[in-house]
Chains A and B, each alone.
Chain A
């Protein structure tokens, strides 16, 4: 069996909310293997986004260990975590979070510019990815000139252009209608079939139905973890 992409062992996370401790995660163990399409589901406050953020290096657990792509996140400084996110991870946010002053093409090139990729290669790869996602005619439009679905596709393009080890999507369908959500999920499914490992936090049943593996959380614990459909 190949090495896991994500290994979480005994991960706990507690927040203080007006001096009241909130146990977002309690001793969570999770392993994600290459090529999996995992949905983290559960009601609000179940800890799914918290777990996703910890796996993505945006948050640190109070207890336990997390490793991504063989790297123990607990040993990394903030600077090294940023580096890891830049080179190994792809993020798709609920609110798209595109840079409003950059065009679709420039938003996709943004990651590669941070990585130091040459100008010619950046343009070529960004154009190819946007073309693949059906946005060939939208390259020079700014986010304000794109629909919600188009913006989300640009966000996906940005997340996958540097071929990350792991794609993390936090409520990717939250601001989309059902038709657009379906298009997005077909895209994610296609990417997964090509070998991309995807972990998504969602409460959307349609998203869950596309995932190959559902991890259901309740009150910070994994209640259920199993295959939902064949790859």
Chain B
């Protein structure tokens, strides 16, 4: 093996210019794939983060029928002892909420919204916990004021400190109406969120609707991989309720997530497929230049399989060096854009659905590893044809060339 490795390295050095250009092509292709992967992953995980932040969480407990008819009659009593003992570090946080459709009225405008009763202390798991607040955040679950989205406030032509009237259906099916002062306005990543959600203290809303129930328990786990174990534990703890994860609650995002995964593969095979043709071409040239030499080696007793291994080794060495270079370049690219790319000039549509206008690249080590391994495998496959071309020629015919 040492002989073959030695021969391979030296043969590669025989044509420095050609192989240097090939190395650059491999490095650029690998860097391009890795860099685009970080952006695609950034978009994918940005979408996921937005979906989870958007009051969905990783897993949610709800009463039967609430998803189809988000009404206070589809609610449940939450006993804190019901919460399962999940492993330390699995759950980042959980929040119980009372969430009902409502109508909001200012002096000038009326809008349909979702009224969300929250305990502010628990809302670090959702977007509202991180939103920029003008005015004041809700002070507790008893806070009888509202937090309104900045865009909604603009539409209602109202401001912090002014009063709004909210109408929602109570537990008895009768409408309840009450005036609320605006504690603050929030600026979320998306105007869609701002126009849809109005927050109020949970206890205050329960008092208005004359219920002690909640409509959802939202749980956020530390890592996506913990979603399914958490879901199983919650299902066991709440056998009479519905437990769904974000994929079920937001199937569009789930499909987009899967689509992004598929896109990564498609992009990889497009880029590396094109490179492979170039590699095959170059290897054929390199190998056919040495037909006589390889024929001589076979005449002396080298097996065809050994010739194949030698050609494959050359390809592996080229690809490995190219992959290492390309990975290094892609890391540099990643670090240069690690703070994110501001797409706000182009991303109005994304903001409407709550996706951030800052594209934050995400570098996954498994992506980098997969690109490296798949590239080398492609390099190995690419070398079979040139090696076969040479082996097909009889040693005697090769010697006569």
Contact = CB atoms under 8 A, between A and B. Distances in A.
A86 B300 contact: yes
A37 interface: no
A97 B296 contact: yes
Nearest to A54: B396
Contacts, number: 64
A111 interface: yes
B341 interface: no
Contact of B301 (A53, A87, A93, A106): A87
A113 interface: yes
A113 B293 CA distance: 17
Interface in B264-300: 292-293, 296-300
B306 interface: yes
Interface residues of A, number: 26
Given A100-B293, A110-B3, A83 B396 contact: no
A114 B304 contact: no
A102 interface: yes
A58 B396 contact: yes
B299 A113 contact: no
Contact of B396 (A53, A84, A87): A53
A168 B296 CA distance: 14
Interface string A67-95: 00000000000110011111101010100
A113 B303 CA distance: 13
Nearest to B12: A101
B301 A86 contact: yes
B395 A58 contact: yes
A101 B7 contact: yes
A100 B7 CA distance: 10
Contacts of B11: 101
A108 to B, nearest CB: 12
Chain B binding surface SS class: helix
B303 A82 contact: yes
Given A58-B396, A114-B306, A85 B300 contact: yes
B10 interface: yes
B300 A91 contact: yes
Contacts of B304: 78-79, 82
A85 B396 CA distance: 13
Contacts of B300: 85-86, 91, 110-111, 114, 158
A99 B7 contact: yes
B111 interface: no
B302 interface: yes
Given A58-B395, A93-B399, A99-B7, A111 B301 contact: yes
Interface in A80-138: 82-87, 89, 91, 93, 97, 99-102, 106, 110-111, 113-114
A145 interface: no
B296 A79 contact: no
A11 to B, nearest CB: 16
**Most chain-B CB neighbours within 10 Å: which of A53, A93, A99?**
A99
A59 interface: yes
Given A101-B7, A114-B306, A82 B301 contact: yes
Contacts of B154: none
Given A53-B396, A93-B399, A101 B14 contact: yes
Interface string B5-34: 011001101100000000000000000000
B301 A85 contact: yes
A228 B10 CA distance: 46
Contacts of B13: 101
Interface in B207-246: none
Given A101-B11, A158-B300, 5 more contacts: A56-B299, A85-B299, A86-B302, A91-B300, A102-B10
Interface of B: 2-3, 6-7, 10-11, 13-14, 292-293, 296-304, 306, 394-396, 399
Closest 9 CB pairs of A and B: A86-B301, A101-B10, A97-B296, A113-B3, A85-B301, A58-B396, A82-B301, A82-B303, A59-B396
